[in-house]
A and B are shown apart, each in its own frame.
Chain A
Amino acid sequence: MNYDVNLIFQIAGVGIVVAMIHTVLKQMGKEEIAHWVTLLAFVIVLYMVVNVVDDLFQTIRSVFLFQN
Protein backbone atom coordinates (compact mmCIF):
# COMPACT_ATOMS: atom_id res chain seq x y z
CA MET A 1 0.00 0.00 0.00
CA ASN A 2 2.94 2.38 -0.19
CA TYR A 3 2.51 4.42 -3.34
CA ASP A 4 5.05 6.67 -4.84
CA VAL A 5 4.55 10.20 -3.55
CA ASN A 6 6.27 11.46 -6.69
CA LEU A 7 3.17 10.66 -8.70
CA ILE A 8 1.15 13.19 -6.71
CA PHE A 9 3.75 15.89 -7.25
CA GLN A 10 3.91 15.05 -10.92
CA ILE A 11 0.15 15.39 -11.30
CA ALA A 12 0.20 18.64 -9.39
CA GLY A 13 2.92 19.96 -11.70
CA VAL A 14 0.98 19.00 -14.80
CA GLY A 15 -2.08 20.69 -13.34
CA ILE A 16 -0.25 23.94 -12.65
CA VAL A 17 1.42 24.10 -16.05
CA VAL A 18 -1.77 23.23 -17.92
CA ALA A 19 -3.66 25.88 -15.97
CA MET A 20 -1.07 28.44 -17.05
CA ILE A 21 -1.24 27.32 -20.69
CA HIS A 22 -5.02 27.54 -20.51
CA THR A 23 -4.82 31.10 -19.18
CA VAL A 24 -2.33 32.17 -21.85
CA LEU A 25 -4.39 30.69 -24.69
CA LYS A 26 -7.59 32.16 -23.31
CA GLN A 27 -6.05 35.62 -23.12
CA MET A 28 -5.08 35.39 -26.76
CA GLY A 29 -8.63 34.49 -27.71
CA LYS A 30 -8.05 30.87 -28.66
CA GLU A 31 -10.44 29.29 -26.22
CA GLU A 32 -11.24 26.17 -28.19
CA ILE A 33 -7.54 25.25 -28.34
CA ALA A 34 -7.31 25.94 -24.62
CA HIS A 35 -10.13 23.49 -23.95
CA TRP A 36 -8.50 20.84 -26.12
CA VAL A 37 -5.22 21.25 -24.22
CA THR A 38 -6.98 20.83 -20.91
CA LEU A 39 -8.79 17.73 -22.12
CA LEU A 40 -5.55 16.25 -23.45
CA ALA A 41 -3.79 16.90 -20.15
CA PHE A 42 -6.67 15.25 -18.33
CA VAL A 43 -6.29 12.14 -20.48
CA ILE A 44 -2.53 12.06 -19.86
CA VAL A 45 -3.03 12.34 -16.11
CA LEU A 46 -5.61 9.57 -16.32
CA TYR A 47 -3.01 7.35 -17.97
CA MET A 48 -0.60 8.16 -15.16
CA VAL A 49 -3.02 7.11 -12.44
CA VAL A 50 -4.54 4.13 -14.23
CA ASN A 51 -2.44 1.65 -12.24
CA VAL A 52 -3.51 3.13 -8.96
CA VAL A 53 -7.16 3.20 -9.97
CA ASP A 54 -6.91 -0.42 -11.10
CA ASP A 55 -5.49 -1.31 -7.71
CA LEU A 56 -8.37 0.51 -6.05
CA PHE A 57 -10.97 -1.45 -8.02
CA GLN A 58 -9.26 -4.73 -7.26
CA THR A 59 -9.31 -3.90 -3.59
CA ILE A 60 -12.98 -2.98 -3.69
CA ARG A 61 -13.80 -6.22 -5.44
CA SER A 62 -11.84 -8.24 -2.96
CA VAL A 63 -13.59 -6.52 -0.06
CA PHE A 64 -17.18 -6.63 -1.29
CA LEU A 65 -17.27 -9.64 -3.60
CA PHE A 66 -15.08 -11.88 -1.48
CA GLN A 67 -12.76 -12.85 -4.26
CA ASN A 68 -9.08 -13.68 -3.93
Chain B
Amino acid sequence: MKLLGAIFIICASTGIGFALARNLKERTKQLRDMKQAITSLEAEMVYTMTPLAEACHRVSQQVPSPVSTFFSTFSDALQKGESSAYQAWTKSLASLKAHSCLQQSDLDVILQFGASLGQQDLEQQQKQVKLTLSNIDRQELEASEKQKRSENMYKSLGFLGGLLMTIILI
Protein backbone atom coordinates (compact mmCIF):
# COMPACT_ATOMS: atom_id res chain seq x y z
CA MET B 1 0.00 0.00 0.00
CA LYS B 2 2.80 2.34 0.91
CA LEU B 3 4.60 1.39 -2.27
CA LEU B 4 1.55 2.23 -4.35
CA GLY B 5 1.29 5.71 -2.80
CA ALA B 6 5.00 6.27 -3.34
CA ILE B 7 4.67 5.33 -7.00
CA PHE B 8 1.71 7.68 -7.36
CA ILE B 9 3.59 10.62 -5.85
CA ILE B 10 6.67 10.04 -7.99
CA CYS B 11 4.59 9.67 -11.15
CA ALA B 12 2.65 12.86 -10.42
CA SER B 13 5.66 15.03 -9.73
CA THR B 14 7.54 13.62 -12.72
CA GLY B 15 4.49 14.45 -14.81
CA ILE B 16 4.47 18.02 -13.51
CA GLY B 17 8.14 18.38 -14.37
CA PHE B 18 7.61 17.07 -17.90
CA ALA B 19 4.57 19.31 -18.40
CA LEU B 20 6.58 22.38 -17.43
CA ALA B 21 9.39 21.35 -19.77
CA ARG B 22 6.88 20.81 -22.57
CA ASN B 23 5.46 24.29 -22.00
CA LEU B 24 8.88 25.77 -22.72
CA LYS B 25 9.24 23.72 -25.86
CA GLU B 26 5.77 24.61 -27.08
CA ARG B 27 6.44 28.31 -26.60
CA THR B 28 9.40 28.21 -28.97
CA LYS B 29 7.42 26.22 -31.49
CA GLN B 30 4.40 28.50 -31.33
CA LEU B 31 6.55 31.57 -31.79
CA ARG B 32 8.01 29.98 -34.89
CA ASP B 33 4.52 29.20 -36.17
CA MET B 34 3.43 32.76 -35.51
CA LYS B 35 6.40 34.04 -37.45
CA GLN B 36 5.52 31.83 -40.37
CA ALA B 37 1.89 32.93 -40.19
CA ILE B 38 2.78 36.62 -40.28
CA THR B 39 5.16 36.06 -43.16
CA SER B 40 2.49 34.39 -45.22
CA LEU B 41 -0.03 37.06 -44.19
CA GLU B 42 2.41 39.60 -45.58
CA ALA B 43 2.65 37.62 -48.79
CA GLU B 44 -1.15 37.57 -49.08
CA MET B 45 -1.31 41.31 -48.48
CA VAL B 46 1.50 42.40 -50.75
CA TYR B 47 1.33 40.04 -53.70
CA THR B 48 -2.32 39.12 -54.08
CA MET B 49 -3.97 42.03 -52.22
CA THR B 50 -6.50 39.72 -50.59
CA PRO B 51 -8.91 41.32 -48.12
CA LEU B 52 -7.81 40.88 -44.53
CA ALA B 53 -10.52 38.43 -43.48
CA GLU B 54 -9.91 36.08 -46.36
CA ALA B 55 -6.15 36.39 -46.07
CA CYS B 56 -6.32 35.42 -42.40
CA HIS B 57 -8.58 32.51 -43.26
CA ARG B 58 -6.01 31.25 -45.75
CA VAL B 59 -3.18 31.76 -43.30
CA SER B 60 -5.05 29.75 -40.69
CA GLN B 61 -4.99 26.75 -43.02
CA GLN B 62 -1.25 26.90 -43.40
CA VAL B 63 -0.08 26.81 -39.79
CA PRO B 64 -0.47 24.27 -36.96
CA SER B 65 -2.99 24.33 -34.19
CA PRO B 66 -3.00 27.12 -31.60
CA VAL B 67 -1.89 29.79 -34.05
CA SER B 68 -4.29 28.63 -36.74
CA THR B 69 -7.23 28.86 -34.28
CA PHE B 70 -6.20 32.41 -33.52
CA PHE B 71 -6.25 33.41 -37.17
CA SER B 72 -9.51 31.63 -37.95
CA THR B 73 -11.36 33.26 -35.00
CA PHE B 74 -9.95 36.60 -36.13
CA SER B 75 -11.14 36.09 -39.69
CA ASP B 76 -14.57 34.90 -38.47
CA ALA B 77 -14.95 38.00 -36.34
CA LEU B 78 -13.98 40.18 -39.29
CA GLN B 79 -16.41 38.46 -41.62
CA LYS B 80 -19.26 39.04 -39.18
CA GLY B 81 -18.23 42.65 -39.39
CA GLU B 82 -19.43 43.66 -35.97
CA SER B 83 -16.18 45.09 -34.68
CA SER B 84 -13.10 46.84 -35.92
CA ALA B 85 -10.01 44.91 -36.86
CA TYR B 86 -8.22 45.95 -33.70
CA GLN B 87 -11.08 44.86 -31.44
CA ALA B 88 -11.36 41.53 -33.20
CA TRP B 89 -7.60 41.10 -32.94
CA THR B 90 -7.65 41.81 -29.20
CA LYS B 91 -10.49 39.39 -28.63
CA SER B 92 -8.81 36.57 -30.56
CA LEU B 93 -5.58 37.31 -28.76
CA ALA B 94 -7.33 36.79 -25.43
CA SER B 95 -8.45 33.34 -26.52
CA LEU B 96 -4.96 32.60 -27.83
CA LYS B 97 -3.56 33.49 -24.43
CA ALA B 98 -5.77 30.88 -22.80
CA HIS B 99 -4.88 28.11 -25.22
CA SER B 100 -1.19 28.58 -25.90
CA CYS B 101 2.04 28.63 -23.96
CA LEU B 102 2.98 32.12 -25.13
CA GLN B 103 3.97 34.62 -22.49
CA GLN B 104 2.77 38.16 -22.00
CA SER B 105 5.78 39.71 -23.74
CA ASP B 106 5.12 37.60 -26.85
CA LEU B 107 1.45 38.55 -26.83
CA ASP B 108 2.38 42.22 -26.52
CA VAL B 109 4.41 42.00 -29.71
CA ILE B 110 1.48 40.42 -31.54
CA LEU B 111 -0.93 42.97 -30.10
CA GLN B 112 1.26 45.78 -31.34
CA PHE B 113 1.15 44.29 -34.81
CA GLY B 114 -2.65 44.08 -34.62
CA ALA B 115 -2.90 47.76 -33.75
CA SER B 116 -1.37 48.66 -37.11
CA LEU B 117 -3.46 46.17 -39.06
CA GLY B 118 -5.80 47.60 -41.64
CA GLN B 119 -4.97 51.21 -40.93
CA GLN B 120 -2.06 52.00 -43.20
CA ASP B 121 -1.10 51.65 -46.82
CA LEU B 122 0.88 48.76 -48.19
CA GLU B 123 4.32 50.18 -47.69
CA GLN B 124 3.74 51.14 -44.07
CA GLN B 125 2.18 47.78 -43.48
CA GLN B 126 5.22 46.04 -44.86
CA LYS B 127 7.42 47.99 -42.50
CA GLN B 128 5.21 46.97 -39.61
CA VAL B 129 5.50 43.34 -40.66
CA LYS B 130 9.26 43.61 -40.75
CA LEU B 131 9.33 45.20 -37.32
CA THR B 132 7.04 42.56 -35.87
CA LEU B 133 9.07 39.75 -37.39
CA SER B 134 12.27 41.06 -35.89
CA ASN B 135 10.55 41.42 -32.52
CA ILE B 136 9.26 37.87 -32.66
CA ASP B 137 12.71 36.72 -33.70
CA ARG B 138 14.13 38.25 -30.57
CA GLN B 139 11.46 36.62 -28.41
CA GLU B 140 12.11 33.29 -30.06
CA LEU B 141 15.83 33.53 -29.45
CA GLU B 142 15.19 34.26 -25.81
CA ALA B 143 12.65 31.44 -25.57
CA SER B 144 14.92 28.84 -27.13
CA GLU B 145 17.79 29.86 -24.90
CA LYS B 146 15.55 29.52 -21.87
CA GLN B 147 14.35 26.17 -23.16
CA LYS B 148 17.87 24.89 -23.56
CA ARG B 149 18.75 25.98 -20.05
CA SER B 150 15.67 24.91 -18.14
CA GLU B 151 14.16 21.95 -19.94
CA ASN B 152 16.33 19.25 -18.40
CA MET B 153 16.26 21.02 -15.08
CA TYR B 154 12.47 20.85 -14.86
CA LYS B 155 12.45 17.19 -15.82
CA SER B 156 15.03 16.09 -13.27
CA LEU B 157 13.70 18.41 -10.57
CA GLY B 158 10.22 16.93 -10.96
CA PHE B 159 11.50 13.41 -10.49
CA LEU B 160 13.87 14.26 -7.64
CA GLY B 161 11.23 16.32 -5.85
CA GLY B 162 8.85 13.36 -5.91
CA LEU B 163 11.58 11.07 -4.64
CA LEU B 164 12.37 13.47 -1.80
CA MET B 165 8.72 13.72 -0.83
CA THR B 166 8.29 9.95 -0.68
CA ILE B 167 11.46 9.48 1.34
CA ILE B 168 10.32 12.07 3.85
CA LEU B 169 6.80 10.68 4.09
CA ILE B 170 7.69 6.99 4.42
Contacts and interface: CB of A to CB of B under 8 A. Distances in A.
Interface of B is mostly: helix
A14 B164 contact: yes
Interface of A is mostly: helix
Given A13-B167, A14-B168, A29-B149, 14 more contacts: A10-B168, A10-B170, A14-B164, A14-B167, A17-B163, A17-B167, A21-B160, A24-B160, A25-B153, A25-B157, A27-B153, A28-B149, A44-B168, A48-B168
Interface string B142-155: 00000001100100
A8 interface: no
Interface string B6-41: 000000000000000000000000000000000000
Contact size range, A = 10 to 19
Contact of B164 (A18, A24, A25, A30): A18
Interface of A: 10, 13-14, 17-18, 20-21, 24-25, 27-30, 41, 44, 48
B156 interface: yes
A64 B133 CA distance: 78
A33 B164 CA distance: 16
B161 interface: yes
B17 to A, nearest CB: 11
30 contacts: A10-B167, A10-B168, A10-B170, A13-B167, A14-B167, A14-B168, A17-B160, A17-B163, A17-B164, A17-B167, A18-B164, A20-B156, A20-B160, A21-B157, A21-B160, A21-B161, A21-B164, A24-B153, A24-B156, A24-B157, A24-B160, A25-B153, A25-B157, A27-B153, A28-B149, A28-B153, A29-B149, A41-B164, A44-B168, A48-B168
